[in-house]
């Protein structure tokens, strides 16, 4: 038993670690540039820097955000790449230098070329602002943004008098471009060169921060993501918790009654209705209900789309339970009806299965009263799978509650997720996915452990199968 | 039986929907010549036929035809009817000439026919559902079968080959990644990939030397399944989609398949675990039949019974996911007309009930019949 538990929990941690590695790399690949966003947020809106000057501006911020370190514990790149390629900052620079390197295979030359572009730019910066220098700045911007060497050549090829003041730099660039365009990476330069980066890497610091509960700062409004989550989680818990409670309260008695009743045509009809209820998409019902409930001419005005902030301000359930519950009623109903329908038929099938067990027949022949038979002997056995079932449906519930929260404007996790997605706030999005998957994995494992703890028969077969 | 008729109808709408709702007439006589625009589209695109210049302007509805037979719904899903802009209800008075021009399901905000979009929705939902579930099915049966058949104790490899396998896999991933980085156009990388595959084959056929150990295949695959299952489907989809530049239908299908294969794999694994210990399989193994043959011919047909049930339920799940995406307006290319995108418009115009009722009804009916089918299959299996 203990070994089984230990095994399960260790695989759980391993799979969560795998998820966090995947999410980390996804976050890194998200198309928004964190440093740029932060810089923009500070300079209030427009933030333009010449690509050749950008790296300096960029590096300071990147160091602050821990972005100047290798990504992972180890790295594997073609042998022609330098070990310290991660030190190149600024996405445009990385893109161009990488492309040039892949085409030519000579890192020293690529670096000299890029440095000569930067040197040229710095020389222009020092001279006074004339039309000529502005022209060359534009040309340089083009060169620095283009990995096509022939385009760089054409950018240099202008009339002699325009080249005259900077002739040294231009000659140097042209020379380097010529040398670069004759280079190709050798066959063996593509072989991987594995490298060990040690523990001082981006993933390690990100992961250790997350373990300590610091998931980062939202790039949208600069608030800690954890605070935002803490505000949102109670709402989702309320909606989901009430929905589960309501569903069980309806499903348990109904399922038992349906199992006890003799089989008839009516029972089949009811079963069909339950199936239909389960198949009824909640977001459809939600959007139809929303129209009914928010238009006063239909007589319903207990729900208001903007009523949430009121509730938030005035302290939720404890201070004003009735408006609170009324406000929650619609989303909870939408979440609950499908679940209730499913649980009813589930309860019905488990209860009738229990009723057909030999020990029930024995109890019946002993002459136990019906109430005692059903509630003392059958119910506990039928209830067990139901309770275990809850943990297993958590992922589906959370998925469903995203759309419901968006429809009814509930300030819960689902809406926060969609909002941060639409505003490209990747830190929030991915720490969110991580949190939800931790919760889900816990729920799944809890249901497994509950099942094993309560029913030794399952444990035996499982252990046989796993070993 | 009724279910079969319903699915046939859905399939019909999905396949021939564009011939039912289209602004191009079936037959028309224009400037003295007869055309069949609806059928001729592919031929014109291929350059095998010529149309008068007036036909190229996508102004099909207002051309002065001499004779015309229109389709049942004379609007394409994208057609903008300028006479009925701004959410015309199906029951409201509509500006139309002729009985067939009525918008039976009303119009949306920019005057597109809801019925035409509704019919288009069948094709989208069905293609996403069918394709993603077939991909998920193939992947799920393969991985689940591997995990179930070999378990943790039946895949034996010599120690040196096990270590080499690990080494080889890392290298393989590296070469594939580099291939993607260079868009598959670099000759050296393709040659290296070939060499790598050759080395793999060579080592595979090398003799067994030294001790043999069992690779825990079941444990590895279960770990992957557990990791993917831990992320709720919609979150997973929404977190992955924005990383793709210009997401399209294809990406959505692949991602849904990637989310859905685990459920199928778990079931297939359990079935394989059960069946591989049955006597007839052991007999087959003693007879020296190849493992692949045993899996394919003797285990899989027996396992498929319950796999079909999950197919039905996963299909329903995929259609629901697609509807969620359309409703949230994330992931699908802009301008895609689906049931979800039609329902999304209700959020801004709550009074336009027809935009919610009809697409929702279609989703509901498909989900319901799939559940019903699953239930039927279930009772058949047990």
Give the model confidence (pLDDT) of B221-236 as tens digits: 999 998 998 888 888 8
Place of tokens 């000759």: B187
The number of residues making up chain B comes to 382
Smallest CA–CA distance, residue A310 to chain B, in Å, is 22
C-alpha torsion angle, residues A59, A65, A70, A73 (rounded to 10): 170
Q: Which of A194, A218, A182 is nearest to A77 (CA)?
A: A194
The reported pLDDT for the residue numbered A93 is 82
Mode of pairing for the β-strands spanning B212-214 and B156-158:
antiparallel
Question: Could B367 and A281 be called an inter-chain contact, meaning their C-beta atoms sit closer than 8 Å?
Answer: yes
- Give the tens place of pLDDT for each residue, B1-14: 688 999 999 999 99
* Distance (Å) from the alpha carbon of A137 to chain B's nearest alpha carbon: 30
Q: Are A80 and A86 in contact (CB under 8 A)?
A: no
How buried is residue A386: exposed, middle or buried, by Cβ count under 10 Å (0-12/13-18/19+)? middle
> Minimal Cα distance from A18: which residue of B?
B227
SS3 B146: helix
- Give the mutation candidate from B186, B226, B260, B321 for the A interface (greatest A CB count, under 10 A): B226
Mutate to test the interface with B, among A14, A15, A413 (most CBs of B within 10 A): A15
Cα–Cα distance list, B21 to A7, A445, B64, B333, B355 (Å): 58, 50, 21, 22, 17
Distance from CA of A41 to the nearest CA of B (A): 22
CB contacts under 8 A, A 99-118 vs B, are 102
Closest-CA distance, B255 to chain A, in angstroms, reads: 14
Give the C-alpha separation, B50 to B33, whole Å. Answer: 12
CB B368 within 8 A of CB A279: yes
Surface of B (30-89) touching A: CB under 8 A: none
pLDDT at A296: 64
SS3 letters across B223-237? HHHHHHHHCCHHHHH
Position B221 scores a pLDDT of 94
A15 to chain B: nearest residue by CA?
A: B227
Is A18's CB within 8 Å of B242's CB? Answer: no
Say if the Cβ atoms of B231 and A436 lie within 8 Å. Answer: yes
The share of chain B scoring above pLDDT 90, in percent, equals: 40
Other beta carbons within 10 angstroms of residue A391's beta carbon come to 19
Range A95-102 contact pairs with CB under 8 angstroms and sequence separation of 24 or more: A95/A147, A96/A144, A96/A145, A96/A146, A96/A147, A99/A147, A100/A147, A100/A149, A100/A180, A102/A185, A102/B181, A102/B182, A102/B186
Residue B25 is encoded by which pair of tokens? Answer: 């007439």
- Within 13 Å of residue A388, how many CA atoms lie on the same side as its CB? 18
**Cβ contact B312:B377 at 8 Å:** yes
Please report, for residues A58, A121, A181, the alpha-carbon distance to residue A139 in angstroms, rounded to integers and kept in the order given. Answer: 22, 10, 20
A residues 6..25 contacting B (CB < 8 A): 11-12, 14-16, 18-19, 22-23
Nearest by CB to residue A18, choosing from B227, B232, B347, is B227
**What's the rounded mean pLDDT across residues B295-319?**
91
Return the DSSP state at A373: I
Contact B364 A284 (CB under 8 A): yes
Phi then psi for residue B144, to 5 deg, are: -65, -40
Based on C-alpha coordinates, what's the Rg of chain A? 32
Give φ, ψ of A215 to 5 degrees.
Answer: -95, 0
Q: Do residues A154 and A142 touch, judged by C-beta distance below 8 A?
A: no
Task: State the best of A348, A399, A431, A446 to mutate against chain B, taking most chain B CBs within 10 Å.
Answer: A399
Closest chain B residue to A414, measured at CA? B235
pLDDT for B74 equals 85
On the 0-12 / 13-18 / 19+ scale of CB atoms within 10 A, B236 is: buried
Q: Would you state the pLDDT for residue A182?
A: 86
Return the number of CB contacts < 8 Å for A and B.
155
Reduced to 3 states (helix: H, G, I; strand: E, B; else coil), residue B68 is strand
Which residue, among A252, A346, A239, has the nearest Cα to A282 in the 3D structure? A239
pTM, whole model, 2 decimals? Answer: 0.85
Residues in chain A predicted with pLDDT less than 70, given as ranges, are 31-49, 294-302, 305-306, 310, 312-318, 455-467
Closest CA to A406 of B341, B319, B324: B324
- Confirm or reject contact between B192 and chain A (CB < 8 A): yes
Burial level of B77, CB count in 10 A (0-12/13-18/19+)? buried
Task: Flag if A288 and B235 touch (Cβ within 8 Å).
Answer: no
Judge contact between A136 and A124, C-beta under 8 A: yes
The pLDDT, as a whole number, for residue A463 is: 47
H-assigned helices in A65-166: 91-104, 107-126, 131-145, 149-156, 160-163
Sort out which chain A residues have CB atoms less than 8 A from B238's CB and list them. 417-418, 421, 429
Q: Coil, helix or strand for B116?
A: helix
B80 φ, ψ to 5°? -105, 115
Mean pLDDT of chain B, nearest integer? 88
> What distance in Å separates residue A187's CA from the closest CA in chain B?
6
pLDDT of residue A43: 61
Residue in A closest to B370 by C-alpha: A279
CB contact under 8 A, B188 and A284: no
Distance CA A250, CA A336 (A): 10
| Res B55 pLDDT > 70 | yes
**Residue A47: what pLDDT?**
56
The tokens for B56 are 């190229």
How far apart are the CA of B254 and the nearest CA of chain A, in angstroms? 17
Helix (H/G/I), strand (E/B), else coil: B163: helix
CB contact, 8 Å: A1 with chain B?
no
Q: Is A195 helix (H, G, I), strand (E, B) or coil?
A: strand
Contact status, residue A403 vs residue B347, Cβ threshold 8 Å: no
Span B103-162, pLDDT tens digits: 888 888 888 888 999 999 999 999 999 999 999 999 999 999 999 999 988 888 899 999
């Amino acid at each position: 038993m203990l070994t089984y538990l230990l095994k399960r929990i260790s695989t759980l941690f391993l799979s969560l670690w795998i998820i966090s590695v995947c999410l980390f790399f996804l976050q890194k690949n998200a198309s928004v540039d964190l440093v740029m966003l932060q810089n923009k947020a500070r300079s209030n809106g427009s933030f333009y820097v010449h690509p050749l000057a950008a790296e300096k501006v960029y590096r300071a911020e990147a160091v602050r955000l821990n972005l100047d370190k290798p990504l992972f514990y180890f790295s594997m790149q073609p042998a022609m790449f330098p070990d310290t390629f991660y030190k190149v900052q600024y996405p445009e620079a990385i893109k161009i230098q990488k492309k040039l390197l892949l085409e030519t295979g000579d890192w020293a030359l690529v670096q000299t070329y890029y440095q000569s572009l930067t040197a040229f730019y710095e020389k222009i910066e020092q001279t006074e602002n004339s039309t000529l220098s502005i022209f060359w700045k534009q040309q340089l911007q083009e060169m620095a943004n283009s990995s096509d060497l022939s385009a760089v050549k054409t950018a240099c090829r202008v009339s002699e008098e325009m080249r005259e003041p900077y002739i040294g730099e231009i000659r140097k660039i042209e020379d380097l471009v010529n040398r670069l365009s004759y280079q190709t990476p050798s066959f063996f330069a593509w072989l991987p060169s594995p490298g060990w980066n040690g523990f001082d890497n981006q993933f390690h610091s990100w992961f250790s921060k997350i373990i300590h509960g610091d998931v980062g700062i939202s790039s949208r409004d600069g608030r800690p993501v954890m605070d935002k989550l803490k505000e949102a989680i109670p709402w989702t818990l309320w909606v989901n918790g009430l929905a589960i409670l309501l569903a069980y309260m309806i499903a348990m008695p109904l399922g038992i009654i349906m199992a006890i009743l003799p089989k008839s045509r009516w029972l089949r009809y009811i079963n069909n209705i339950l199936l239909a209820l389960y198949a009824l998409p909640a977001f459809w019902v939600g959007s139809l209900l929303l129209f009914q409930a928010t238009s006063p001419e239909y007589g319903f005005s207990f729900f208001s789309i903007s009523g949430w902030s009121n509730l938030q301000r005035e302290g939720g359930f404890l201070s004003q339970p009735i408006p609170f519950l009324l406000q929650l009623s619609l989303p909870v109903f939408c979440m609950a009806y499908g679940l209730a329908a499913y649980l009813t038929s589930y309860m019905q099938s488990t209860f009738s299965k229990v009723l057909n067990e030999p020990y029930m027949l024995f109890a019946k022949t002993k002459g136990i009263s019906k109430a005692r038979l059903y509630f003392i002997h059958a119910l506990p056995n039928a209830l067990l799978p139901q309770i275990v079932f809850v943990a297993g449906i958590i992922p589906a519930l959370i998925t469903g509650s995203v759309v419901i929260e968006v429809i009814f404007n509930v300030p819960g996790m689902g809406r926060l997720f969609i909002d941060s997605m639409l505003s490209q706030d990747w830190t929030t999005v991915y720490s969110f996915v991580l949190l939800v998957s931790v919760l889900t994995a816990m729920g799944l494992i809890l249901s497994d452990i509950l099942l094993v703890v309560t029913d030794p028969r399952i444990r035996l077969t499982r252990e046989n199968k796993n070993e | 039986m009724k279910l079969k008729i319903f699915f046939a109808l859905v399939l019909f709408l999905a396949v021939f929907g564009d011939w039912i709702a289209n602004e191009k007439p079936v037959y028309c006589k224009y400037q003295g010549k007869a055309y069949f625009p609806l059928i001729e589209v592919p031929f014109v695109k291929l350059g095998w036929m010529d149309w008068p210049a007036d036909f190229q302007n996508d102004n099909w509805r207002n051309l002065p035809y001499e004779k015309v037979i229109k389709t049942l719904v004379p609007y394409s899903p994208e057609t903008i009817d300028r006479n009925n802009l701004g959410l015309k209800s199906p029951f409201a008075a509509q500006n139309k000439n002729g009985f067939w021009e009525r918008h039976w399901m009303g119009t949306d905000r920019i005057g597109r026919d809801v019925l035409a979009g509704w019919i288009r929705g069948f094709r989208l939902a069905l293609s996403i559902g069918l394709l993603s579930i077939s991909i998920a099915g193939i992947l799920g049966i393969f991985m689940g079968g591997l995990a179930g058949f070999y378990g943790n104790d039946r895949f034996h490899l010599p120690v040196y080959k096990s270590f080499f396998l690990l080494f080889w896999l890392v290298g393989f991933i590296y070469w594939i990644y580099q291939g993607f980085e260079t868009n598959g156009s670099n000759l050296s990388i393709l040659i290296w990939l070939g060499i790598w595959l050759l080395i793999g084959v060579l080592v595979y056929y090398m003799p067994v030397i030294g001790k043999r150990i069992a690779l825990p295949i079941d444990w590895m695959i279960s770990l992957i399944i557990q990791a993917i299952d831990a992320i709720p489907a919609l979150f997973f989809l929404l977190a992955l989609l924005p990383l793709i530049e210009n997401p399209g239908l294809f990406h959505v299908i692949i991602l849904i398949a990637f989310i859905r294969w685990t459920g199928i794999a778990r079931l297939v694994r359990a079935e394989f675990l059960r069946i591989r210990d049955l006597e007839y399989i052991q007999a087959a193994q003693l007879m020296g039949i190849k493992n692949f043959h045993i899996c394919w011919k003797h285990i899989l047909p027996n396992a498929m019974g319950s796999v079909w049930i999950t197919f039905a339920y996963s299909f329903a799940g995929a259609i629901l996911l697609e509807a969620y995406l359309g409703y949230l307006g994330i992931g699908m290319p802009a301008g895609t007309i689906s049931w979800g995108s039609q329902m999304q418009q209700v959020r801004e115009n709550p009074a336009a009930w027809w935009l919610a009722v009809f697409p929702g009804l279609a989703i509901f009916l498909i989900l319901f019949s799939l559940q019903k089918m699953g239930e039927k299959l279930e009772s058949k299996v047990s």
